[in-house]
C-alpha cells in the first residue's frame, strides 16, 4: 500500500477529564484540521463544566520523556503549550524544546480556568515569563492574563492593543490579546515584532461575530491549538489566526449544550 504523511502538531498541556478544554480540546481541534495530534501531558485534572476538583501534576522528568519520545520519532511541525502549573515543569519544557530546535511554538499562558480555578502556581509565573515566553512564536493571553504579564490594565480596545505591543517589546514574540471577556465583542488584537529596528510592533485586529452563549469552556485552548494547526500547514501567523477564529466561531455557533456549567464547544462542527 502507498503511504502518505500529514503534519503533526504537539500539545503540551493538562488533561481535562470532561473533555472540553486542555489536551482533549487540542486533540479534537487538531483532528478536525486533518492533522496528526501528539501530546505531552503536564497534569491530570479532575474537572467538569462546573469547576476543577483536583490536580495531579506529572513529574518534570516524565514530561521530558514524553517530549523526547515525540521528537525522536514523529517531529511536530508546530507545538502548542497550555496548562503548565509549576516552575520546574516550565523549565524542563523550555530546555527540551530548545534541545529539539522546535519551531512554530504557540503559548497559551493559562492562569485561571473559565470556571475560576487557578491552574498555575505563583512562582511558576516568573519561570513562564523568563524561560518559555521568549521561545514562543506567539502568545495568546486573555485580558486578565495580558494584564498580569504586562502589569498594565485594559479598559478599552486602545489599551488592548497597547498591552499587546508592550508584550512584544518585553518578550520578543508576537502577542495576541484575546477579547473574549469583553461583553460586546469577540475581537482579538495581534502585535508582531516590526521588521524595522526601533519601529513600534505592528498591530492587526481580528474582528469576529460574538456568539451569544454561556458555553465557552475551552475556547482559549481551542483557539491556540487551531493557530498551531495553521502554522503547521504553512500559513503566516495572521492567516493562521484568521482561520483559527473562523473555526472557533463555528464551534461556538454550533450551539452544543452539554453539562451543568459553562459547557464545551462543538469541535467537530464542520463534519
Ligand atoms: N461568545 C463568544 N463568541 C465568539 N467568540 C468568543 C466568545 N467568547 C470567547 N470568544 C473567542 O474565544 C477565544 C478565547 O477567548 P477568551 O475567552 O478571551 O480566552 P480564554 O478562554 O483564554 O479565557 C478568543 O478568540 C475570543 O475572541
Ligand atoms: C486542563 C485545562 N487546561 C486549560 C484550561 C483552561 O480552559 P478555559 O479557560 O477555556 O476553561 C482548563 N480549564 N483545563
The DSSP element (H or E) to which 160 belongs, if any, is: helix 157-171
Name the residue among 119, 101, 92, 88 with its Cα closest to residue 220.
119
Q: Is residue 265 part of a domain?
A: no
Q: Is residue 258 part of a domain?
A: no
Does the structure show a pLDDT above 80 at 56? yes
223 Cβ closer than 6 Å to some ligand 1 atom: yes
Q: Is residue 267 part of a domain?
A: no
Q: Is residue 216 part of a domain?
A: yes
Q: Is residue 2 part of a domain?
A: no
Between the alpha carbon of residue 217 and those of residues 49, 228, 271, the distances in Å are 7, 19, 21
Q: Is residue 270 part of a domain?
A: no
Residue 244 is predicted with a pLDDT of 98
Cα dihedral across residues 153, 154, 155, 158: positive or negative? positive
ipTM of the complex as predicted:
0.98
245 Cβ closer than 6 Å to some ligand 1 atom: yes
- For cell 487538531, name the residue: 30
Parent domain of 152: 8-253
Residue 197 is predicted with a pLDDT of 76
Q: Is residue 186 part of a domain?
A: yes
Q: In which band, very low, low, confident or very high, does the pLDDT at 111 lie, cut at 50, 70 and 90?
A: confident
265 Cβ closer than 6 Å to some ligand 1 atom: no
Domain of residue 100, CATH code: 3.40.1190.20
Residue 181 is predicted with a pLDDT of 84
Q: Is residue 262 part of a domain?
A: no
Ligand 2 site residues, Cβ closer than 6 angstroms: 13-14, 16, 21-22, 45, 82-83, 110, 113-114, 119, 217-221
219 Cβ closer than 6 Å to some ligand 1 atom: yes
Contact call for residues 215 and 252 (beta carbons, < 8 A): yes
To the question of pTM greater than 0.80 for the whole model, the response is: yes
DSSP 195: S
Strands 51-57 and 36-48: antiparallel
Q: At what angle do helices 219-232 and 22-32 cross, to 10 degrees?
A: 40
The mean pLDDT value for 88-101 works out to: 98
**Atom 18 of ligand 1 has which residue's CA nearest to it?**
180
State the total domains in the chain: 1
Out of 4-18, 23-37, 180-194, which region has the weakest mean confidence (pLDDT)?
180-194
Amino acid at each position: 500500500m502507498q503511504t502518505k504523511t500529514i503534519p503533526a502538531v504537539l500539545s503540551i498541556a493538562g488533561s481535562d477529564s470532561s473533555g472540553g478544554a486542555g489536551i482533549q480540546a487540542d486533540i479534537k481541534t487538531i483532528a478536525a484540521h486533518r492533522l496528526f495530534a501528539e501530546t505531552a501531558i503536564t497534569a491530570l485534572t479532575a474537572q467538569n463544566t462546573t469547576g476543577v476538583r483536583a490536580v495531579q501534576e506529572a513529574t518534570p522528568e516524565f514530561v521530558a520523556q514524553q517530549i523526547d519520545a515525540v521528537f525522536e520519532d514523529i517531529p511536530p511541525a508546530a507545538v502548542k503549550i497550555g496548562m503548565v502549573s509549576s516552575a520546574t515543569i516550565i523549565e524542563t519544557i523550555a530546555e527540551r524544546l530548545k534541545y529539539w530546535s522546535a519551531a512554530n511554538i504557540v503559548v497559551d499562558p493559562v492562569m485561571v480556568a473559565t470556571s475560576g480555578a487557578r491552574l498555575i502556581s505563583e512562582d511558576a509565573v516568573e519561570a513562564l515569563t523568563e524561560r518559555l515566553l521568549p521561545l514562543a512564536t506567539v502568545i495568546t493571553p486573555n485580558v486578565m492574563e495580558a494584564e498580569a504579564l504586562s502589569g498594565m490594565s485594559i479598559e478599552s480596545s486602545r489599551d488592548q492593543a497597547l498591552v499587546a505591543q508592550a508584550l512584544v517589546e518585553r518578550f520578543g514574540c508576537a502577542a495576541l490579546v484575546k477579547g473574549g471577556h469583553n461583553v460586546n465583542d469577540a475581537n482579538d488584537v495581534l502585535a508582531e515584532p516590526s521588521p524595522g529596528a526601533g519601529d513600534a510592533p505592528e498591530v492587526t485586529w481580528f474582528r469576529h461575530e460574538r456568539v451569544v452563549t454561556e458555553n465557552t469552556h475551552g475556547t482559549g485552548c481551542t483557539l491556540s491549538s487551531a493557530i498551531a494547526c495553521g502554522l503547521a500547514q504553512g500559513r503566516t501567523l495572521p492567516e493562521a489566526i484568521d482561520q483559527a477564529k473562523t473555526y472557533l466561531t463555528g464551534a461556538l455557533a454550533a450551539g452544543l449544550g452539554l453539562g451543568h456549567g459553562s459547557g464545551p464547544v462543538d469541535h467537530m462542527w464542520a463534519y
